[in-house]
């Protein structure tokens, strides 16, 4: 396998993934490289199902082995939601700050701070042949919005055994501990063997 397609239009994710893949002798392509802009509807009920929908779509469209991820945050004070609807939940608000304030309020009212990020990666190497890799990072919701690095919910998530949000950690450091890097490293180990 000389080429691998990462099925994503998210610029931040692509940068993060390419940095993790740097040590790998493989041409990592993104949808942008192939001028593909349309994405299938993520109609799955789990992160694994959504990742599989995207990786199969990418493989069927290009014939290139393809992987895709689906990630999200699960927050105890919101009954472990938004989960697979993390992106939609964020987009329901006028801006990120309003969304984060809503979450912080729910945590304060309930007294439940626990949360976790999960990533599922699906690798499609042949038609209807998928391998799933999962990564999870546990932590809690911070009391304030903090940090300028990262994206998504990073400014309100403090990983277990840390006192900083993911958005306060450098990209390099975040890539060593994040849910996405755990799943990507499982994928890399699989590809290396």
Per-residue model confidence as pLDDT tens digits over 148-189:
887 899 999 999 999 999 999 987 888 889 898 899 989 988
- Total residue count of the chain as it appears in this document: 193
- pLDDT band, residue 132 (cuts 50/70/90): very high
Sequence-ordered list of residues with C-beta below 8 angstroms from that of 59, at least 6 positions apart, any chain: 5, 65, 66, 124, 125, 126, 127
Beta strands in 61-113 (DSSP E): 66-75, 81-82
Interval 47-101: pLDDT, tens: 999 999 999 999 999 999 999 999 999 999 999 999 999 999 999 999 999 999 9
pLDDT at 26: 79
- Checking if the pLDDT of 1 tops 70, the result is no
* Structural domains in the chain (count): 1
pLDDT at 161: 94
Nearest to 69 by CA among 184, 191, 190, 185: 184
Angle at 72 between CA 158 and CA 85, to 5 degrees: 130
Both tokens of 161, joined, read 């055994």
Phi and psi at 187, nearest 5°, equal -65, -45
CATH of the domain at 102: 3.90.950.10
For residue 158, what are the domain limits? 3-192
Cβ pair 3, 167 in contact under 8 A: no
Which residues are part of the catalytic machinery? 70
């Amino acid at each position: 396998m000389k080429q691998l397609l990462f099925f994503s239009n998210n610029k931040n994710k692509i940068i993060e993934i390419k940095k993790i893949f740097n040590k790998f002798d493989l041409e990592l392509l993104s949808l942008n490289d192939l001028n593909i802009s349309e994405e299938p509807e993520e109609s799955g009920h789990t992160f694994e199902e959504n990742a599989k929908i995207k990786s199969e779509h990418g493989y069927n469209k290009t014939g290139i082995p393809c992987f895709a991820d689906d990630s999200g945050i699960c927050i105890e004070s919101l009954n472990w939601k938004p989960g697979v609807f993390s992106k939609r939940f964020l987009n329901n608000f006028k801006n990120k700050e309003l969304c984060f304030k809503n979450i912080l309020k729910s945590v304060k009212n309930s007294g439940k701070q626990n949360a976790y990020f999960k990533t599922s990666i699906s690798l499609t190497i042949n038609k209807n042949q998928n391998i799933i890799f999962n990564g999870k990072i546990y932590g809690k919701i911070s009391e304030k919005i903090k940090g300028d690095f990262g994206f998504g919910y990073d400014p309100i998530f403090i990983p277990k055994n840390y006192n900083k949000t993911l958005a306060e950690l450098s990209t390099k450091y975040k890539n060593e501990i994040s849910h996405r890097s755990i799943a990507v490293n499982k994928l890399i180990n699989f590809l290396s063997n």
